[in-house]
């Protein structure tokens, strides 16, 4: 016990140190690219119609912040992601658990999931616009799709990775069907579910941008697509930077810590 506490004390500062080093090594290449950009555009005198200078993009940022259009696009995109993801998780987790518990259900549904996970995301855009029209419905459906299949599959994996002895232990301590679900299956599968959400959201984010180029009149994808019609490369590049940066923020500051928290806290589920 004493050695364990000593170990933890020794790990403390070095862990914080690793975080800082990790952040720096992650940001450094991005910073280099950013610094290289004005050097290249001035050295080769690049035509702004081909690629904009830093100043132009900065001006576009200031303008779109001032007139509120950037936040309107970001808000629309995030809203769709939020709704699509929430719906996807709500349907996927119960289904994944049902599949994990019943081998009959999972045997029957697995081939379907193999097939549809290939199609998940942007392949659904054309038919989604026929079903839901252009706008919120079609795009949210595409996101739902991307999240749904991956989260279902990961939930299934998570449930089937729970050792049978844990279910036995719960049953012999008096757990009924409902307690088995809330006390064993859900928490046991949670690390996999969170991993599934993280992966699914990655696909959903890409699908979102693609869908917004086709099926709407507001959103980050739409912002890029319209700017092209007016040869406004600075708006296109601004949009690309926002899309990438926003995803990195969501992934690094929200999803990765969540994943770490569930997995590290409990040790690996399979370990004990």
Of the pair 151, 190, the CB lying nearest other proteins is at 190
| Cβ nearer to other proteins, comparing 68 with 163 | 163
Work out how close the CB of 19 gets to other proteins at its nearest, in angstroms, rounded to a whole number. Answer: 22
CB atoms within 10 A of CB 129: 20
- Whichever of 7 and 38 has its CB closer to other proteins, that residue is 7
- Supply the minimum distance, in Å, between the C-beta of residue 184 and other proteins: 7
Shortest spacing between CB 271 and other proteins, in angstroms: 6
Q: How far is CA 192 from the centre of its chain?
A: 14
Q: Distance (Å, rounded) from C-alpha 115 to C-alpha 102? A: 20
Helices (H), ranges, 68-185: 69-101, 103-119, 125-132, 136-161, 164-172, 177-179
The residue among 42 and 103 lying less far from other proteins, judged by its C-beta, is 103
Rounded Cα–Cα distance for residues 206 and 227 (Å)? 19
3-state secondary structure of 231: coil
Gyration radius (Cα) of the chain, Å? 23
Q: Which residues make up the interface to other proteins (CB under 8 A)?
A: 1, 4, 163, 165-166, 168-176, 179, 183-184, 187-188, 190, 265-269, 271-272
- Closest approach, Cβ 36 to other proteins, in A, equals 46
As a whole number of angstroms, the distance between CA 230 and CA 53 comes to 17
Of 63 and 183, the one with the shorter C-beta distance to other proteins is 183
Identify which of residues 155 and 233 has a Cβ nearer to other proteins in the complex. Answer: 155
Under DSSP, the state recorded for 123 is: G
CB of 171 to other proteins, least distance (A): 4
Minimum distance, C-beta of residue 268 to other proteins, in the bound complex (Å): 8
Q: Determine the Cα–Cα distance for residues 214 and 221; give it in Å rounded to an integer.
A: 8
* Closest C-alpha to 234, from 43, 70, 35, 27: 70
């Amino acid at each position: 016990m004493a050695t364990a506490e000593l170990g933890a004390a020794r790990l403390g500062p070095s862990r914080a140190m690793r975080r800082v080093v990790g952040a720096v090594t992650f940001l450094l290449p991005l910073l280099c690219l950013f610094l290289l950009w004005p050097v290249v555009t001035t050295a080769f005198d690049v035509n702004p119609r081909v690629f904009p200078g830093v100043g132009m993009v900065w001006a576009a940022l200031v303008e779109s912040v001032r007139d509120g259009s950037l936040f309107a696009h970001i808000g629309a995109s995030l809203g769709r992601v939020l709704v699509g993801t929430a719906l996807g998780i709500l349907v996927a987790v119960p289904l994944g658990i049902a599949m994990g518990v019943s081998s009959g259900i999972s045997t029957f549904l697995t081939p379907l999931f193999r097939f549809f996970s290939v199609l998940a995301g942007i392949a659904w855009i054309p038919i989604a616009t026929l079903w839901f029209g252009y706008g919120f419905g079609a795009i949210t459906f595409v996101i739902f799709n991307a999240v749904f299949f991956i989260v279902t599959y990961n939930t299934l994996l998570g449930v089937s990775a729970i050792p049978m002895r844990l279910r036995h232990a719960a049953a012999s301590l008096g757990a009924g069907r409902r307690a088995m679900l809330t006390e064993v299956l859900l928490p046991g599968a949670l690390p996999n579910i969170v991993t599934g959400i993280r992966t699914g959201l990655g696909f959903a984010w890409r699908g979102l941008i693609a869908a917004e180029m086709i099926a709407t009149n507001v959103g980050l994808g739409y912002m890029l697509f319209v700017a092209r019609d007016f040869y406004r490369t600075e708006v296109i590049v601004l949009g690309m930077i926002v899309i990438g940066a926003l995803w990195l923020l969501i992934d690094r500051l929200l999803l990765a810590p969540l994943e770490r928290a569930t997995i590290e806290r409990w040790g690996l589920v399979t370990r004990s």
